[in-house]
A = this chain, B = another copy of it.
Amino acid sequence: MALTATEPAASTGSFGPATALSCRECGQRVELGPTFACEFCFGPLEVAYDFTPGAVTRESIARGPKNIWRYAGLLPVPADVADLPNMNPGLTPLVRADRLAAELGLRSLHVKDDSANPTHSFKDRVVAMAVEAARTFGFRTLSCSSTGNLAGAVGAAAARAGFESCVFIPAGLEEGKVVMAAVYGGKVVAIDGNYDDVNRFCSELIGDPAGEDWGFVNVNLRPYYGEGSKTLAYEIAEQLGWRLPEQIIIPIASGSQLTKIDKGFQELIALGLVEDRPYRIFGAQATGCSPVARAWEAGHDVIQPVKPDTIAKSLAIGNPADGPYVLDICRRTGGSVVHVGDDAIVDSIKLLARTEGVFAETAGGVTTGVLRALVADGVLDPEASTVVLNTGDGLKTLNAVADSGVTATIKPSLDAFKGAGLV
């Protein structure tokens, strides 16, 4: 299809198997639209589906594209979605981490490495969904509040699909994330404050004429956006040979990703695509921003907001919207919510790099650090199949491991090399 350089491609405007938005709190159903909160109880709206039995099979998935659109039949997107201009993320490697498993004394460990996505974080998955919703609703500008990764994902996706973009980030982010947000040519606005301030500002903007025609991927498009995280569940199951992992460690920022991975597993069970066997979900936070882990430790159902102070900036959401649902899921599945400090995060980034050649962002240091803590505390079953998520790329948080530099600088001679004590 020939496109002009400035207009989003038309979509068939269908949401595939999605039939409505449904309130997670009161169950009230509303039409599919750019809304995110229940008008009756203010609860969060989620996409509801009517799956045709047998319409999606392991075989139909295997024949699909080598990206998230192989699961289009389980997502709120039109059937021809793979033909539309989109970043097409997903089908990232599930790395068999035998050497890390050996160091930790585990039998079966895999790393789901989402740094392989187009802008090198899992955010490409959720943005890909929001782009299709924005296209259908006729928005021309994409926006978001972001801790960094999302800004880059929105900038790139807007460029690919022909939208304008204007993204909002907290001031003082890592250089890699700022440049990656700005290089695609959209507007990048830094807000004096932390992520929670940025988020509040966006909620205000969306109610103002200045922002009312914008598609905020994680605000008014949030129900669609969130569904992108289900594809992590689908891929992990498919890559394990259509089996669920017995233990999985997932980072918590807003908590949305963890809840959607659980939703994805439940859908696979309901559709008969995997056997219904127990799985335990563990949530991972940085000590410097651990409101969900603190609530877990205290046995509370309510999350006490915190002011983040951690190197894991992509997880630095002090008031996580889906925190209570995370607590529910970790309780229901026999998991827990654990936090680790910045030193353990850095050590764990290096451990993962040294044993598996995976260079993780600080968020991957958090999940790997929590993996180690759970092993050390005897919480994990070392015989059970375990998956740990790396949701971002080490190149975006170079400062965390900036002490990893050259071993020596020498003149180009054998004598200099031998004299440097390297061999």
Contact = CB atoms under 8 A, between A and B. Distances in A.
A410 B202 CA distance: 13
Given A4-B102, A102-B5, A353 B183 contact: yes
A271 B274 CA distance: 40
A183 B394 contact: yes
A393 B395 CA distance: 10
B353 A185 contact: yes
B402 A179 contact: yes
Given A102-B2, A120-B395, A205-B417, A190 B350 contact: no
A404 B193 contact: no
A418 interface: yes
Contacts of A205: 414, 417
Size category of the binding interface on chain A: 35 or more
Contacts of A68: none
Interface string A118-141: 111000000000000000000000
Interface string A51-94: 00000000000000010000000000000000001011001010
Contacts of A394: 179-180, 183
Given A356-B159, A411-B192, A412-B200, A404 B183 contact: yes
Nearest to A119: B359
B192 A420 contact: no
Interface in A166-186: 166, 169, 171, 175-176, 178-180, 182-185
Interface in A213-249: none
A103 interface: yes
A99 B5 contact: yes
A185 B175 CA distance: 24
A188 interface: yes
Contacts of A66: 66, 91
Nearest to A154: B357
Contacts of A166: 422
A304 to B, nearest CB: 22
A192 B103 contact: no
A163 to B, nearest CB: 10
A181 to B, nearest CB: 8
B191 A412 contact: yes
A155 B410 CA distance: 19
A162 B85 CA distance: 40
A420 B189 contact: yes
Interface string A391-406: 0011110100110111
Contacts of A263: none
A354 B210 CA distance: 24
